[in-house]
Amino acid sequence: MAGLRESLAELGHELRQQRLRALLSLSGVAWGTLSILLLLAFSVGFAELFARRQQGLGTGIAIAWPSRTTKAWQGLPPGRRIRPTHDDIRALALAVPGLEALSAEFVAGERLQVGARVLRVELSGVDPEFGRLRQLEPRPGGRFLNAADQDGRRRVVFLGDDLARSLFGADEPVGRTLLLREAPFTVVGVLRTKEQDSDYGALDEDRAFVPAATFADVYGTRLVNNFVYRAADPARQEACTDRIVQALAARLRFDPTDRGALGLWDTTEEQRMVATIFLAFHVVLGMAGVFTLLAGGVGIANLMFLLVRRRTSEIGLKLAVGARPAQVRREVLVQTLVLVGAGGTAGAVLAAGAVALARSGPWIAETGVPRIPTALGAGAALLLLAVGVLAGWFPARRAAGLDPAEALRE
Amino acid sequence: MPEPLLALRGVSKVYARDGAPVRALDGVDLDIAAGEYVALTGASGSGKSTLLHILGCLDRPDQGSYRFAGTEIASLRPDALARQRRAVGFVFQAFHLLPRLSAVDNVALPLRYSGVAPAVRRARAVEVLRRVGLGDRLEHRPGELSGGQQQRVAVARALVGAPSLLLCDEPTGNLDSRSGVEVIELLEELWREGCTLIVVTHDPGLAARARRRVSMRDGRVVGVAEQER
Ligand SMILES: Nc1ncnc2c1ncn2[C@@H]1O[C@H](COP(=O)(O)OP(=O)(O)O)[C@@H](O)[C@H]1O
Ligand SMILES: [Mg+2]
């Protein structure tokens, strides 16, 4: 570009003449950039914390439990209890296309015993996919229940982390045995500590899980208490639910349109709602930052108008010796962009520093871990570019439109 | 007869600043051939600077036609107008040097806008400064130079684009007589090398050195005299 170095030297010279004004205008842009980045970094961190807690129960899952029919069907009256078995639930895997994962769940209150210690807990009998659905990650050294456990009806148990501590204290529970209805069960895994803000019955940290087949054996029952599933495509969850009702209706003989026969908790609905609320939250905070930055841009535009006025005769001279108006315009635009870039960089550095500090504070349990996602950084950079072009456009046009003879008389 | 380098027909310029309009130029007809040496004289306020600005394409007539080497200046678009200005060297009475730039940077300024590489710019500026006798003042700022030296820097800046037309607005008006003579001798040397030279002056001694003398009063050309030396 023609004379970039000279053009920047000019800018530097002018700024030294206008230190205070320059400092104020630059800090306006820096402050605006800082506001955008900080507000959104914290709002993103908070949203992520919230999502993590919400997903402690499982991401995008639905929990369904058998209820009573609400419609008459083939001469049978409404109000009949439906009683799906483990086989009925397993059949859904084939009957309902688009299911990503599915697990039956048996539930019972039960006493677990280790040595002299006896605890009453919520015990679940579940299929291997339950771990994936409900975010039951094992701690290193252990594992969740698997297909071999189920097929062999093994006496194995997966423990919530809190429960494991209560039963075994500081000892490593994996490999140890506990007594369940007088029968020894081997601990195969312990839940890795997780955030969870909702549950049905008890938090996972206090629960024990055994294979569904084992549970059915021990209790001599085939009737499931509920089942958990997730559509491969979150947008198809509703459709999957309809297909599940139809498939169960065929096996258990009720009206295939009787949605009321199943109790349903579809977490995707609330997750969608929360996502919308946070989006609105981001937008409001982002706009607050954007307006601060725009105010900074107005300050820069003012400064550039002032510089153009102070340099009127110099610009006139440049035009007189043959500078094209487009060249003069570009010089002023580039100077403005450099100013805005400098202010923006200062703001970004401050924001990055503040975020780095805030990430290690004791407050992150409540605020979440703030971060500046790449998209936010890129968005801020684009916004700065737009503000720079806007702030420089009119001063640049004024400079380029000067009449040399007139300007030189100044 | 071949077309003159510069041809003005019925050129008028009116300034309408606060109050009564001032007719700075009032129907000027003037032809100047390539290679001429013309002195433009007249009382203060008679329109000499306005005319020179129009000749240098720094200003446009309100009425009339100005053709430069056959091209109607009023028809030029901004880029072409800028190119036209580069073909003219203009020396201002008030020098108009940029105070924060060294002599060599001041002289190199026009080259910044004509696409000359930075290293070449400096070399050309140094060459022209040597030519005007300031080879030992390259890095001095205008404030560190005498009036005569400043005007020579301004002449060097007018020369650096190798123009075919030199327009000088009272180039010696702010100088003592010795510096004035030095500057005018420098300009005449350039004229002898083929440049067309137009000098505004109200010093009769300087006016007498030109080959043709154009006198102005109240925005009109009131006399054109060929002179022998
Ligand atoms: N920008 C302007 N605004 C108003 N009047 C002007 C302007 N420039 C020149 N004039 C007037 O036009 C007339 C001619 O001015 P000028 O060409 O500078 O004369 P000279 O150079 O011969 O002294 C003068 O009366 C002057 O006051
Ligand atoms: Mg004048």
CB distance A241 to A62 below 8 Å: yes
CB distance B79 to A326 below 8 Å: yes
Strands A99-114 and A117-126 come out as antiparallel
Q: What is the pLDDT of residue B2?
A: 66
Q: Model confidence at B42, in pLDDT bands (50, 70, 90)?
A: very high
Amino acid at B219: G
Residue B9 lies in a domain: no
Q: What is the pLDDT of residue A199?
A: 83
Coil, helix or strand for A285?
A: helix
- For ligand 1, whether the C-beta of B19 sits within 6 Å is no
Q: What is the mean pLDDT of chain B?
A: 92
Q: How far apart are CA B21 and CA A21, in angstroms?
A: 39
Q: Which atom of ligand 1 is nearest to the CA of B52?
A: 17
Q: What is the pLDDT of residue B229?
A: 65
Locus of tokens 């009256």: A77
Residue B132 lies in a domain: yes
Q: Model confidence at B83, in pLDDT bands (50, 70, 90)?
A: very high
Q: What is the pLDDT of residue A317?
A: 96
Domain residues for the domain of B137 are 35-43+79-226
Task: Report the share of chain A in percent with pLDDT over 90.
Answer: 81
Tens digit of pLDDT for each residue in A165-183? Answer: 999 999 999 999 999 998 9
Tens digit of pLDDT for each residue in A267-289? Answer: 888 888 888 999 999 999 999 99
What are the Cα distances from residue A66, in Å, to A80, A95, A104, A223, A335?
11, 18, 12, 10, 70
Q: How far apart are CA A335 and CA A329, in angstroms?
A: 10
Q: What is the pLDDT of residue A336?
A: 96
Range of weakest confidence among A178-192, A193-207, A365-379, B85-99 = A193-207
Q: What is the pLDDT of residue A200?
A: 83
CB distance B85 to A325 below 8 Å: no
Hey, which bits of A69-200 come out as E strands?
Answer: 99-114, 117-126, 156-159, 177-180, 183-190
Q: Which helix (H) or strand (E) holds A173?
A: none
Residue B6 lies in a domain: no
Q: Is A377 on the interface with B (CB under 8 A)?
A: no
Residue B165 lies in a domain: yes
Q: How far apart are CA A409 and CA A201, in angstroms?
A: 86
Q: What is the pLDDT of residue B39?
A: 96
Strands B165-169 and B88-91 come out as parallel
Tens digit of pLDDT for each residue in A127-157? Answer: 999 999 999 999 999 999 999 999 999 999 9
Residue B106 lies in a domain: yes
Task: Domain count for chain B, please give it.
Answer: 1
- Average pLDDT for residues A23-48, to the nearest whole number? 94
Q: What are phi and psi of A341, to 5 degrees?
A: -60, -40
Q: Name the residue in chain B with its Cα closest to that of A316.
A: B58
Work out the number of other CB atoms within 10 angstroms of the CB of residue A124.
Answer: 26
Q: Which value does ipTM take for this structure?
A: 0.94
- Average pLDDT for residues B63-85, to the nearest whole number? 94
- Average pLDDT for residues B162-190, to the nearest whole number? 90
- pTM > 0.90: yes or no: no
- Average pLDDT for residues A355-372, to the nearest whole number? 89
Q: What is the pLDDT of residue B179?
A: 85
Coil, helix or strand for B17?
A: coil
Residues of chain B by 3-state class (helix, strand, coil), percent to 5: 35, 25, 40
Tens digit of pLDDT for each residue in A221-240? Answer: 999 999 999 999 888 899 99
Domain limits of chain A? 4-54+272-409, 83-253
Atom 24 of ligand 1, residue of closest alpha carbon: B45
Nearest to B96 among A6, A326, A408 (CB): A408
Locus of tokens 């123009």: B163
Amino acid at A211: P
CATH at residue B172: 3.40.50.300
Instruction: Give the A window 284-313 contacts with B, CB below 8 Å.
Output: 313
Q: What is the pLDDT of residue B20?
A: 85
Residue B122 lies in a domain: yes
Q: Which atom of ligand 1 is nearest to the CA of B48?
A: 22
What are the Cα distances from residue B212, in Å, to A44, B209, B225?
80, 9, 6
DSSP A81: B
Residue B21 lies in a domain: no
